[in-house]
Amino acid sequence: MGIKDDAVEVRAQGWRTLAALHGSIEAELEKALQASSDLSVVEYTVLDALSRQDGWHMRMQQLARATALSSSATTRLVNRLEDRGLLTRILCADDRRGIYTELTVDGQKLLEEAKPVHDETLASALEAAESMPELEPLVRALGALQV
C-alpha cells in the first residue's frame, strides 16, 4: 500500500515540476517574443509549425492540435495573423470544408527574425531553471532526451 501511495506522490510531484518549468519558460518566451516581434508564444508556435511543414501549409485542425488550442481559438488566432499579413488562407480543393493556411513572405521574414530571439531565450530560461534545485533534474532529463 505504501509503495502505491508513493507512486501517486511521485507522479504528483513530477507534474508540479513539469508545470512549474513549463510556466517559467513560457513566461520568458512571452516577454521576449512580445518585445522583439510583437508575437505571443502561440503565434510564434503557429509560424514555426507552418515553416517546418512540408509545403508550408497546414489545416486548421492540425494547427489546433499543434497549439493545444480549441478550434474557435484557432480560427481567431489565424484571423489575427492573417490580418497582419503573416499568413494566408487557401481553400482546400479536394475537401471543400477544409482550409489550408500558408506563411506569406512577410510571415517567413518575421519568423526568421524571431527565431534567434526564441532560441536564445529558451537557452537562457533553461539555464536559469537548471540553477533552481526543484527544476534542475527535469531540465537535465529534458536535455538528455534525444541526443
Report the interface residues with DNA, using CB under 7 A.
Answer: 30-31, 40, 42, 59-61, 68-80, 89, 92, 95-99
89 binds, among DNA, its own copies, none (CB under 5 to 8 A by kind): DNA
Q: Does 112 bind its own copies (CB under 8 A)?
A: no
85 binds, among DNA, its own copies, none (CB under 5 to 8 A by kind): none
Q: Interface mask (CB under 8 A) for its own copies, residues 43-72, using x and -? A: --x----------------------x----
From 78-86, 91-99, 100-108, 136-144, give the range in contact with its own copies by CB under 8 A: 136-144
Helix crossing, 136-143 with 2-37: angle to 10°?
70
Smallest gap from Cβ 122 to its own copies, in A, equals 6
Tell me how far apart the alpha carbons of residues 115 and 124 are, in angstroms, rounded to a whole number: 14
Q: Does 24 bind its own copies (CB under 8 A)?
A: yes
SS (H, E, C) the chain: CHHHHHHHHHHHHHHHHHHHHHHHHHHHHHHHHHHHHCCCHHHHHHHHHHHCCHHHEEEHHHHHHHHCCCHHHHHHHHHHHHHCCCEEEEECCCCCCCEEEEECHHHHHHHHHHHHHHHHHHHHHHHHHHCCCCCHHHHHHHHCCCC
From 12-20, 78-86, 88-96, 97-105, give the range in contact with its own copies by CB under 8 A: 12-20
Smallest gap from Cβ 106 to DNA, in A, equals 18
